[in-house]
């Protein structure tokens, strides 16, 4: 059996709807390695990383003539995925086409009803379901026996039995990184980070932030790989030539003991590399963060979101502004080179004064840069469900794209105003004299920051364009 896996790129990348962080498509690479382990031949195209046109992908698929073509997608890739699938189906009508990923998982029935070129859709984690799908197809069995998928039967879309979440993540083979080239990757927030690769050390999130769909896709039960298994993969990635690892877990900092053990193993094995992660402000303590720094952690994203307790409670964040202040102080004291704060504006009923309070908060915190996002409602999130129930969102109109909340919620500060404010905040933030002086001093003291500066001086204009244009929709990771 032969498979061809595709990570599609949209025709136009809109900074309102996507974050241009360029790293390998982990979901597909995990599936590729599981298929290989089951004896399936695999080829893969990352259209975003390789930057190849649709026609070239089609020619590759035609020459290879796979039994199954799989496409992984989030909302911003959905229409391109459907277009590619239609092109492939026209040329290879007997090839089974399966969709997976966050968007396909959450919108499976709608997608299959609209796009007849889709034969099945994977719901949630795809490794085991894809292997079972191949076995059923190989032996001529009905795919209705496969758990965790949607399929067609007599012209109708049906849902198979639910699949339990994978509890033993160590049992999964590592992502098939040999299917991509490291030269394709290394972009984060407009910065070039050569040889950067993403990595997942745990899955699931026990929290219920209403703007996020992570727990619906990967489960509310947090599951982790063992520290030994994580560090084994780190060694493999370093041997392959990667220099920077970005942990993109939904909840990386949840278990302090695990982080301490990972940091200890990195130092014990004398692995030298830079790594980045995301963290909740209520989970940051000095011992853990210091251990991260001494094992190579250089940058952290902190989910601060708002300076207003009312808005934080609306988001169901279960944090306070004071926790954010303390988390930034602790991170700085621990020696992190770069601290980025993420914020969301445009909540339901959020006033201009509340938004201004958050803007002022970004200036007061000792962070290196804020990431300001406009609240988006995406299928699978609680905010989406709330607005659908309140009749502010017609799901038939927005299920493929999501929508910025200020565009549809009455009496909101409108999107064009928020985008202008965000641009003004970014420009004001980086032009403060005290900030500039402190950034210069920290860069002179930090080898990592100095290297980052030198690597990015040649395309400073591109970074500025990125900063001016950025206003993300929330709800998905990229």
* CB-based contact 10:467 (threshold 8 Å): no
Domain boundary among 141, 159, 177: 159
Instruction: Say whether both 419 and 285 belong to one domain.
Output: yes
Question: How many Å apart are CA 366 and CA 228, to the nearest integer?
Answer: 34
Tens-place pLDDT, residues 190-209: 677 878 999 999 999 999 99
Judge contact between 352 and 451, C-beta under 8 A: no
Work out how many domains the chain is built from and give that number. Answer: 2
Classify residue 170: in a domain, yes or no: no
Q: Which residues form the domain of 155?
A: 2-159
Task: Give tens-digit pLDDT for 260-272.
Answer: 999 999 999 999 9
The overall pTM is greater than 0.95: no
Q: Give the whole-angstrom CA distance, residue 11 versus residue 85.
A: 15
Q: Are residues 194 and 60 in the same domain?
A: no
In this structure, is residue 172 part of a structural domain? no
Does 192 lie in the same domain as 118? no
Same domain, 145 and 205: no
**241/326 same-domain check:** yes
Give the mean model confidence (pLDDT) for residues 323-352: 98
Which CATH number do you get for residue 53? 3.40.50.280
Neighbours of 450 (CB within 10 A): 13
On whether both 22 and 102 belong to a single domain, the answer is: yes
List, for residues 418-454, the tens digit of each pLDDT value: 999 999 999 999 999 999 999 999 999 999 999 888 8
pLDDT in tens, 12-55: 655 443 444 578 999 999 999 999 999 999 999 999 899 999 99
Would residue 93 count as lying in a domain? yes
Q: Name the phi and psi angles at 190, rounded to 5.
A: 85, -5
* Residues 321 and 440 grouped into a single domain: yes
Task: Judge if 350 and 434 occupy the same domain.
Answer: yes
459: helix, strand or coil: helix
Q: If we measure between CA atoms, which residue out of 37, 34, 38, 98 comes closest to residue 66? A: 98
**How many Cα atoms are found within 13 Å in the side-chain-facing hemisphere of 212?**
22
Which DSSP letter does residue 282 get?
A: G
Residues 62 and 111 in one domain: yes
How far is 88 from 58, CA to CA, in rounded Å? 6
SS3 96: strand
CATH number at residue 455: 3.80.30.20
Q: Is residue 166 part of a domain?
A: no
Kindly state whether residue 176 falls inside one of the protein's structural domains: no
Residue 474 lies in a domain: no
Domain stop point among 144, 159, 174? 159
- Is residue 192 located within the same domain as residue 146? no
CA 326 to chain centre: 26
408 lies in the same domain as 446: yes
pLDDT confidence bin for 186, thresholds 50/70/90:
confident
Question: Which residues does residue 275 pair with via DSSP β-bridges, in sequence order?
Answer: 245, 297
Q: Does 174 fall in a domain?
A: no
Residues 116 and 15 in one domain: yes
Answer yes or no: is 476 within a domain: no
């Amino acid at each position: 059996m032969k498979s061809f896996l595709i990570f599609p790129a949209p025709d136009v990348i809109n900074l309102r709807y996507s974050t241009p962080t360029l790293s390998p498509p982990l979901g597909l690479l995990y599936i590729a390695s599981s298929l290989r382990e089951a004896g399936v031949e695999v080829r893969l195209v990352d259209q975003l990383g390789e930057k190849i046109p649709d026609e070239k992908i089609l020619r590759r698929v035609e020459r290879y003539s796979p039994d199954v073509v799989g496409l992984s997608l989030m909302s911003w890739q959905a229409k391109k995925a459907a277009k590619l699938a239609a092109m492939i189906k026209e040329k290879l009508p007997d090839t089974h086409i399966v969709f997976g990923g966050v968007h396909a998982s959450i919108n499976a029935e709608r997608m299959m009803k609209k796009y007849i070129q889709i034969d099945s859709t994977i719901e949630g984690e795809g490794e085991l379901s894809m292997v079972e799908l191949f076995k059923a197809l190989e032996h001529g069995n009905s795919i209705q026996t496969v758990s965790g998928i949607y399929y067609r039967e007599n012209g109708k879309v049906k849902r198979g039995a639910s699949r339990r979440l994978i509890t033993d993540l160590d049992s999964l083979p590592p992502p098939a990184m040999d299917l991509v080239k490291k030269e394709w990757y290394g972009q984060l927030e407009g910065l070039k980070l050569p040889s950067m690769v993403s990595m997942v050390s745990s899955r699931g999130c026990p929290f219920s932030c209403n703007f996020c769909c992570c727990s619906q896709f990967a489960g509310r039960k947090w599951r982790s790989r063992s520290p030994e298994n994580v560090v084994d993969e780190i060694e493999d990635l370093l041997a392959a030539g990667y220099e920077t690892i970005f942990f993109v877990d939904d909840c990386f900092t949840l278990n302090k003991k695990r982080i301490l053990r990972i940091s200890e193993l990195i130092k014990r094995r004398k692995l030298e590399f830079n790594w980045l992660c995301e963290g909740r402000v209520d989970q940051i303590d000095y011992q853990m963060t210091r251990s991260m720094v001494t094992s190579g952690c250089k940058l952290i994203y902190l989910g601060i979101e708002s300076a207003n307790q009312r808005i934080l409670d609306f988001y169901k964040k279960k944090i306070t502004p004071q926790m954010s202040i303390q988390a930034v102080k602790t991170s700085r004291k621990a020696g992190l080179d770069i601290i980025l704060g993420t914020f969301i504006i445009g909540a339901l009923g959020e006033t201009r004064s509340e938004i201004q309070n958050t803007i002022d908060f970004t200036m007061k915190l000792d962070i290196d840069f804020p990431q300001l996002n406009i609240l988006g409602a995406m299928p699978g999130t609680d905010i989406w469900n709330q607005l659908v129930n309140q009749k502010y969102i017609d799901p038939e109109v927005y299920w493929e794209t999501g929508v910025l909340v200020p565009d549809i919620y009455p009496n909101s500060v409108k999107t064009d105003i928020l985008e202008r404010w965000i641009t003004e905040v970014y420009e004001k933030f980086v032009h403060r004299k005290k900030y500039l002086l402190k950034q210069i001093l920290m860069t002179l003291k930090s080898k990592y920051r100095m290297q980052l500066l030198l690597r990015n001086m040649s395309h400073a204009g591109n970074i500025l364009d990125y900063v001016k244009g950025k206003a993300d929709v929330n709800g998905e990771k990229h």
